[in-house]
Amino acid sequence: MLYTQIGAWLFGAFLVAYFLMFDTATFDKTALLQLFHTILVTPWPLWLILILSGFGTYVNILFDDDVFDVAKAKNKKTLFDTNREQLYTTIVIFTATFMLYVLLLHATHTHIKLL
């Protein structure tokens, strides 16, 4: 799990660096890519989104991806009972992160065009 996450982040960083240096027109193809380009080229405060994403990956690794543990567990009810506090913590962190994303987008006047 750890090596997969590190590999995914490195591969993503390589692709982004390549397209930022050699083919920036790629970011103009969709609204989502335009938003991502805005996040990449605006250090403050939009890089906080990237830091939050990194923190989310760290928390995912820290909690050891319980989804796979539940699938392997013989007694799933016992596993859920013992990890209830961890589940609530994960829900709170996810909700707080989502709210912070929304606040950052609102504070920076970045609007996502869905259609």
Domain residue ranges in the chain: 2-107
Give the pLDDT confidence score for residue 68 in this predicted structure: 56
The string of pLDDT tens digits covering residues 5-32 is 788 888 988 988 888 888 888 888 888 8
Measured between alpha carbons, how far is 66 from 63 in angstroms, rounded to an integer? 7
Give the pLDDT confidence score for residue 57 in this predicted structure: 77
Give the pLDDT confidence score for residue 3 in this predicted structure: 77
Which residue, among 79, 67, 65, 90, has the nearest Cα to 1 in the 3D structure? Answer: 65
In which residue are the tokens 């859920």 written? Answer: 80
Residue 75 in this model has a pLDDT that exceeds 60? no
The string of pLDDT tens digits covering residues 37-73 is 888 888 777 778 888 888 877 777 776 655 555 555 5
